[in-house]
Every structure is written in structure tokens, then in C-alpha cells.
Chains A and B, each alone.
Chain A
């Protein structure tokens, strides 16, 4: 499986500010995804990060709030903009295994607390 790292691992932010989360993979992957996991909840897909084109957002998530970049096949960023306490969550990136369609591996996650 791919080795996935995320930065930062955790952060405490003030409302109204923005935070950019980085996701780095040790090999080239086609599909990268960003999820949110709120306390005690399951995973909610925010968007699919597409290399060379705009991300594909799920219902309820918009680019102005969660802009995503995917400059190459090993890296992506998710920005949480104009944060409010409701954005406090764990943010996870995942990648699809190149040889196993639909099989996803997750990064360690970023724990975000918004005050």
C-alpha cells in the first residue's frame, strides 16, 4: 500500500481564518480524495481531487469553502476557508490503490479545532 502523510497533524484555529492541509503520497496515484469525519461520526466525502483539473465536490460542499489543489500525481491540498466551530473535525485524505480499483488507503488525518 502507498505511504501517505498529512500536514499538519493537528491545529487549533480562530474562527474566520483559513487552514491549508497537505497530503503527500510516496508514489503516483490517479485518484485522491478528501474526507471529513466529525466527532463520533463516519466518513463524509468532501471531494475528489483531480490532477490537472478542478476537484469534483459532493453535495453540500463547495469550492469557495473547501478549495482543493492537485498539482501533480503525488500531492494535494485542501483549504478550509473562513472557519467556524462547526468545521472542527478530522480531515482525511485517501488514495486509490493503483492496482485495486476502488480500494482506498487513508492518510493519518488532520485534527482541526476551531475556537
Chain B
């Protein structure tokens, strides 16, 4: 069964620090990976996607992909209390199904 694994947390970081969120996946055929942020009581919001090995930066967010290790990460620089949320990692299912496989999510708490 194809899976995406995340540490459920909570991951607690001080304001201004770098938050590092990690994710591993089992489907070697997955080509695309996504990070969603979900505030309590809200729906998931797409914040980053990455298709190629290496780093992709967007503002304070950097996504990293290592297909050989089947590992995806999200770095949040200069963490703010407003970044406190659950972060969901998702991978595209191989085989042309256009479906995403979601991890259980990591809860991030940024404290002042």
C-alpha cells in the first residue's frame, strides 16, 4: 500500500527560528509532491509544490525533494506565530490516476 509518512508532532519552535517539517513516501513512481497548510477548523491550503530533486524556494518557504531517499521536507524560515497550523504532505500517486496520497500531518506550534 502506497503511503506518505509524517511525524504528527507537535513540533514546537520559537518565533524567528527555522521550522523543519519532514515527510517520506513509499511510492517510487511519485513525481510530484505538495505541502498544504491547514489551520484549525479550515480546509487545506496549498503552499508549495515540487517536482524535481533539489530545493524550491518561495518567500520564507523552501521545499526539498530527494527522490533517491524518497524524502520531502519543508523549511519555514523566520517562523511566526501565524505559521502555527497542521502541515500536510502529499504525493501524487503513480500510474496516471491524478490522485494524491496524504500524510497524517505535522502540527507546528510557533511560540513567541
Contact = CB atoms under 8 A, between A and B. Distances in A.
Contacts, number: 48
A107 B32 CA distance: 21
B6 to A, nearest CB: 9
Interface in A85-104: 90, 92, 96, 100-104
B104 A41 contact: yes
Contacts of A109: 42-43
Interface residues of A, number: 21
A42 B105 contact: yes
Contact of B98 (A41, A48, A108): A48
Contacts of B105: 42
Contact of A102 (B36, B44, B100, B102): B100
B46 interface: yes
Contacts of A33: 99
Interface of B: 31-32, 34, 36, 42-46, 49, 88, 92, 98-100, 102-105
